Amino acid sequence: MCSASLAFFVDLEPAVADFRDSVVTGLSQSPRQLACKFFYDDAGLDLFGKICETPEYYVTRAETALLRGIGPKIAALAGPGASVVEFGAGFDLKVRLLLDALDRPAQYVAIDIAGGPLRDMALAVAADYPGVRVGAICADFTTLTTLPADAAARAGGVALGFFPGSTIGNFAPPEARAFLRQIHAVLGPGGALLIGVDLKKDTARLNAAYNDAAGYTAAFNLNLLHRMVGELGVELDLDGFEHYAFYNEAEGRIEMHLRSLRDQDIRVGDRRFELGAGELIHTENSYKYTLGEFRDMAKQAGFDARASWTDDDDLFSIHYLAVADRTRPGHRIV
Ligand code: AVI
């Protein structure tokens, strides 16, 4: 039994996005789309865990191996007594690697929208790191603009944001830049951000990563339709769609779509959407960056890239970004 407790659990009561409204709005658009945030119900989370273990999806393996290798370098940059703030704290493996690497980390603040799993995860970390003050904030991290007083960095240590997994790639570049600016404001002067970013690479490798032979990525994508039927009572033919994912080189992104296999209707209540054979519903973008592209974006958001690391195969990157000193002459956030 776990006897640990949390230093704080702040529930900011994140607005539950309206799945039905989002589906109706997205299907009304041209081209049609569905928001990727709805991938992550219990079944979707389970499928995402399986994707991470497929031989084709290198992202998680490359990032965790890199994190293990650069631990001492991160510790040297962060210094002793860091307060780690994780944006989107779903799985705890990566933050454990970070806490293991840091020099006497003072605090860990986990932020996630799903309160139950967040509490369980934070309690498990608290149990294994008795020297670290562990707290959690139930919030939509994309809209969080300040940290509650409970989560202020401990005296002397750096406020170290942690955003692994290349989740930044699921934002379009203007939104990614805006989100980085927001994290910059949340961390404040003296803060730093450790962020994982997937790299541009050979198209065949990227296409394979989003079309695994076991079919988990396809099931993950198609799960959106299962959710629509199960939770919203949407009328559609679950066998009438297929997973379609490819690397769009001009845009620098993997695109995931659901492709209609025939002419068919989707009914959402009294709304009817007519889809032609071959028509696509866009479900996700996953942007890939070069080191230079990402460092430029971070700079535009007010960060100084102190270090960028890649794995031996140049698959994935991790950046240590410091909140730039706004008082320095000539510094400007654009
Ligand atoms: C969560 N995110 C970074 C994953 C990605 O690679 O864009 C989601 C994913 N979609 C398909 N496979 C994995």
Residue 59 Cβ contacting ligand 1 at under 6 Å: yes
Angle at 312 between CA 311 and CA 315, to 5 degrees: 55
Which residue shows structure tokens 């209609």?
260
Regions of the chain short of the pLDDT cut 70: 1-2, 326-334
The H-or-E segment that residue 9 falls in is: strand 8-11
* Distance from Cα 259 to the centre of ligand 1, integer Å: 19
Residue 221 Cβ contacting ligand 1 at under 6 Å: no
- pLDDT for 2 equals 58
Longest dimension (CA), the chain: 63
First to last CA, the chain: 51
Residue 284 Cβ contacting ligand 1 at under 6 Å: yes
Residue 107 Cβ contacting ligand 1 at under 6 Å: no
User: How many CB atoms are located within 10 Å of the residue 10 CB?
Assistant: 18
Question: What tokens appear for 285 in the block?
Answer: 């973008």
Angle between helices 42-53 and 59-78 (to 10 degrees): 90
Closest-CA residue, ligand 1 atom 9, reads 48
Residue partners of 58: CB distance under 8 A and separation at least 6: 205, 209, 315, 316
* Distance from Cα 270 to the centre of ligand 1, integer Å: 33
Pocket test for ligand 1, best of 63, 170, 211, 216 (most atoms within 8 A of CB): 170
Which candidate, 210, 228, 234, places its Cα nearest to that of 284? 210
* Distance from Cα 109 to the centre of ligand 1, integer Å: 24
Residue range 100-122, pLDDT digits in tens: 999 999 999 999 999 999 999 99
| Cβ contact 89:122 at 8 Å | yes
User: Phi and psi at residue 169, in whole multiples of 5°?
Assistant: -70, -15
Residue partners of 154: CB distance under 8 A and separation at least 6: 81, 83, 106, 107, 133
Question: What tokens appear for 304 in the block?
Answer: 């100084």
Closest-CA residue, ligand 1 atom 7, reads 286
* Distance from Cα 61 to the centre of ligand 1, integer Å: 13
Residue 164 Cβ contacting ligand 1 at under 6 Å: no
What is d(CA 89, CA 95) in angstroms, rounded to the nearest whole number? Answer: 9
Which ranges of the chain would DSSP assign to H, the alpha helix? Answer: 19-28, 42-53, 59-78, 93-101, 115-128, 173-187, 203-209, 216-232, 291-300
Distances in Å between the Cα of 200 and the Cα atoms of 52, 138, 178 are 18, 33, 21
- pLDDT for 155 equals 80
* Distance from Cα 137 to the centre of ligand 1, integer Å: 24
pTM confidence score: 0.95
Which runs of E-coded beta strand occur in 129-214?
A: 133-138, 159-163, 192-198
* Distance from Cα 101 to the centre of ligand 1, integer Å: 26
- pLDDT for 330 equals 40
Pocket test for ligand 1, best of 36, 40, 48 (most atoms within 8 A of CB): 48
Q: What share of the chain is helix, strand, coil (3-state, %, to 5)?
A: 40, 25, 35
Closest-CA residue, ligand 1 atom 1, reads 167
- pLDDT for 131 equals 97
Pairing of strands 8-11, 133-138: parallel
Residue 165 Cβ contacting ligand 1 at under 6 Å: yes
What is d(CA 310, CA 135) in angstroms, rounded to the nearest whole number? Answer: 31
What is d(CA 118, CA 89) in angstroms, rounded to the nearest whole number? Answer: 7
Residue partners of 87: CB distance under 8 A and separation at least 6: 111, 141, 144, 161, 162, 163, 183
- pLDDT for 329 equals 44
Which amino acid, one-letter code, is at 313? D
Pocket test for ligand 1, best of 205, 284, 288 (most atoms within 8 A of CB): 284
Which amino acid, one-letter code, is at 122? A
Residue 193 Cβ contacting ligand 1 at under 6 Å: no
Residue partners of 234: CB distance under 8 A and separation at least 6: 23, 228, 266, 267, 268
Question: What tokens appear for 135 in the block?
Answer: 């707290």
- pLDDT for 156 equals 85
* Distance from Cα 65 to the centre of ligand 1, integer Å: 18
User: How many CB atoms are located within 10 Å of the residue 16 CB?
Assistant: 8
Closest-CA residue, ligand 1 atom 3, reads 167
